[in-house]
Structure 1
């Protein structure tokens, strides 16, 4: 499998955080729209044993998140409170274990958010509700800096050109919530192939992933609950999926021996009223400096 990276430039506000498993779902819809439902079903047929695509979260351009491991491995010293705010690292510092070189969000380009007030309208009566009362509610929207997104693809199944076409479709459709009213639009930079030395038994996840069936020496992570919703025309009926308990991005797995795959986790199925829906329970596994127990 080959690892690629591109940098996106958001040109609209986002209503949904840039998460790899959500982006994977949107890529599947883009594949269906651009290449047909038959092509998507072919790609998903072996996803549980042989994934064709794994997408990372979106990271501040030029940086990656600090691994979620105990303080004793991070070399935070006495000033733990200040160091815990330094959540971004360069790829070089991350792979070399120089966690003390972390940067704060202010130093690398902080995202901002604001609450936008809205009001529901009944388009039969053109009032806000049955009583005509004013009932506003708030929606959180984010202004994002440039973000790096990584894609791990099996080019025997899913070609590089297909990847670019599908991702371009997502950029035009918009990512996440409220894309139909212009949210989540972005411009795409050039794709770069990423080569990383794979000589470590310690791996950091670049998106939320499933721990089910994982065999390892040790594992450090923060839990993440995914309350998923269906997209496209499948949102016309019951749009909700069952909640999924995952390990969050930045989780670290210490293997017993050097890895043979460039990812960790597993695909997740049978969590929706549609049996053919597949969730990306995989994460791109980035080798970092081995942890000394």
Structure 2
């Protein structure tokens, strides 16, 4: 079955109350398919999802032409850590210019940037903030009386975190699809999510973005490639890895149902999931140079909708890594 990776370029238009993460975006894409084409259409697309045949795998969002720094000991990226005065600067270089994928791993320190570096390159303003965090106070309302209510449980304030992106900032998403989802369908899904809003508070205007472009993306295949960098949270558990040559941070996903599923049970919450966060470096026992994603589809995570699935897959880019197992041994 033919598989293609696309680079999707978007521009945020409003604040976001939910981070742009691949697994969350996939869930919202599924709900769009149900609402626009019916539940049967989604069921057909999900055939084989739990058997390494996902119809679509989505990445997190990153500043245009940059990727997250892989989760690796900094020395392997070529940093000189002997000068303690430079360690703070080294830690702030969290974004990798995508052209580094064509270069040896030990030279990647030369292609890593701080947020100020990216602001200067993408916005022409080194002092500009790529994004700003804001906390807003809210209070629960009684929808029948349109008031906060009375008594001990009438006043229920809570906080909501918002991310405001610079109005000129452009972000990249990566989507891997097979022949069941053509380019026009992918464009329609991303456009619809951008117009209706992504994540929390979408009904209040949050999470809106404009789709600028979708182009086919062919990841570079460096000579001697033997490992992958993930671009979204993934579920590598139980798969055939060289465990001593895998590096990742843990991400716990406290998922919840969306759309009409909120009215189908007593709780919108799914079972928590333990995932490897984006920017993991995973080394398989047998490397497949043509692979566009890794991980697995997840289910048995909802008491409300038993057939629910979660994207435990992640788009990947291949790299040529040294014998990483020796790093742990030393």
Report the alpha carbon displacement of residue 134 of structure 1 after superposing the two structures with TM: 5.7
**2-structure distance, mates of 1:234, 1:117:** 27
The question of whether the paired residues in 1 share the 8 Å contact of 2:101 and 2:220 is answered with no
| Residues 205-245 of structure 1, C-alpha deviations (whole Å, 9 max, x = no match) | 00000022221222100000000000011112320000000
**1-structure distance, mates of 2:178, 2:139:** 45
Give the equivalent residue in structure 1 for 2:295.
265
| Residues 72-103 of structure 1, C-alpha deviations (whole Å, 9 max, x = no match) | 31222123332111011111114422321211
Residue of structure 1 aligned with 2:208, choices 156, 172, 185: 185
Give the equivalent residue in structure 1 for 2:199.
176
Residue of structure 2 aligned with 1:202, choices 227, 233, 257: 227
Give the TM-score normalised by structure 1. Answer: 0.94
5+ long unaligned stretches in structure 2: 120-129, 325-330
Q: Secondary structure at the match of 2:89?
A: helix
**1-structure distance, mates of 2:295, 2:216:** 23
The question of whether the paired residues in 2 share the 8 Å contact of 1:34 and 1:166 is answered with no
The question of whether the paired residues in 2 share the 8 Å contact of 1:210 and 1:266 is answered with yes
**1-structure distance, mates of 2:285, 2:301:** 31
The question of whether the paired residues in 1 share the 8 Å contact of 2:5 and 2:217 is answered with yes
**2-structure distance, mates of 1:291, 1:129:** 62
Report the alpha carbon displacement of residue 291 of structure 1 after superposing the two structures with TM: 2.8
Give the equivalent residue in structure 2 for 1:142.
163
The question of whether the paired residues in 1 share the 8 Å contact of 2:6 and 2:215 is answered with yes
| Residues 105-154 of structure 1, C-alpha deviations (whole Å, 9 max, x = no match) | 22213211111122222233443232287654321111123210010000
Query: More displaced, 162-171 or 136-145?
Result: 136-145
| Residues 23-46 of structure 1, C-alpha deviations (whole Å, 9 max, x = no match) | 000111111122221110001121
Give the equivalent residue in structure 2 for 1:6.
8
**2-structure distance, mates of 1:124, 1:277:** 32
Query: More displaced, 252-261 or 3-12?
Result: 252-261
Report the alpha carbon displacement of residue 14 of structure 1 after superposing the two structures with TM: 0.4
| Residues 41-81 of structure 1, C-alpha deviations (whole Å, 9 max, x = no match) | 00112111211100000001121111001123122212333
Give the equivalent residue in structure 2 for 1:278.
309
Residue of structure 2 aligned with 1:106, choices 116, 120, 131: 116
Alignment of 1:209-288 (within 5 A): 209-217=234-242, 218-236=245-263, 237=265, 238-259=267-288, 260-273=290-303, 274-288=305-319
User: Aligned Cα RMSD in Å?
Assistant: 1.7
**1-structure distance, mates of 2:102, 2:62:** 16
Q: Secondary structure at the match of 1:80?
A: helix
More helix as a share of residues: 2
Aligned residue pair count: 292
Give the TM-score normalised by structure 2. Answer: 0.84
Give the equivalent residue in structure 2 for 1:87.
94
Give the equivalent residue in structure 1 for 2:122.
none
